[in-house]
Amino acid sequence: MRLTVVGCSGSMSGPDSAASCYLVQADGPDGEGGTRTWSIVLDLGSGAFGALLRHLDPAHLDAVVLSHLHADHVVDMTGLEVYRRYHPAGALGPVPVLGPVGTAQRVGALAMEEDLSALDASFTFVDHVPGRSVEIGPLRIEAFPVEHPVLAFGLRVTGPAEDGAREVVLAYSGDSDACDGLVETARDADLFLCEGAFQEGRDTVRGIHLTRRRAGEMATRAAARHVVLTHLPPWNDHEVVRAEAATQYGGPIDLARPGATWSL
């Protein structure tokens, strides 16, 4: 399994990064006796559609998985909708979109589409159901409710390691404060892509985001093997981010940056 950061700026796009979007790929059976690369994106926030074009023709996306429906995680669904519906080579057909209840209405509103059936040409919406997994090729996706002001999910993706010898887990926090659902999302994960939007001592409101200290606590409770901190707002000092998390988590900590990749 491979992770590529498409956008990692938090709450808004930044000068050097789109907002949240992560490309996850793995090789697996193509259903016709061969193998191919399967590709999903986790979230598609502000500016992310354009950045995605650097890494993948969106015609080859196998699914979009949305953690929640805040603008910085979904607004570039509008670009993907136009790309699929009006592609010069012909409409590309529907791609699965896994998301919270209400995703179709949210995307329809962004696209100013009063008749939601118009989206059927581009998307097949699938609601997250805790306890149920969805398989996209060799990738198995589970969603865990987490703590945020709107319905939000942590996402857990299980699939083949790059060497094909075992299964690996990539966990993504979406947006969340500390909670048991986040620990379950990241339990024993090989890589925990965890938000760290808040700064200790400055951002004291609860129930929205993690400070990096709390991100470190979550990773330790979950026994995650590697942490990549993300959702980094343009107003933060990113080295402070790493230092805060390291007070609570003893494993390797990286900071997300656009174009960075990790092989699991």
Residues that bind Zn ion (CB under 5 A): 70, 175
Closer by beta carbon to Zn ion, 74 or else 191: 74
Question: What is the closest distance, in whole angstroms, from the C-beta atom of residue 197 to Zn ion in the complex?
Answer: 9
Phi, psi of 192 (to 5 degrees): -115, 105
Closer by beta carbon to Zn ion, 17 or else 25: 17
Closer by beta carbon to Zn ion, 67 or else 122: 67
Question: What is the closest distance, in whole angstroms, from the C-beta atom of residue 44 to Zn ion in the complex?
Answer: 14
Contact 26, 20 (CB under 8 A): no
First to last CA, the chain: 5
Please give the structure tokens belonging to residue 200.
């200790």
Per residue, the 3-state secondary structure of 142-162, as one string, reads EEEECECCCCCEEEEEEEECC
Question: What is the closest distance, in whole angstroms, from the C-beta atom of residue 161 to Zn ion in the complex?
Answer: 31
Question: What is the closest distance, in whole angstroms, from the C-beta atom of residue 173 to Zn ion in the complex?
Answer: 11
CA-nearest of 43, 37, 97, 48 to 69 is: 43
The helices-and-strands tally (H runs, E runs) of the chain is 7, 15
Closer by beta carbon to Zn ion, 72 or else 142: 72
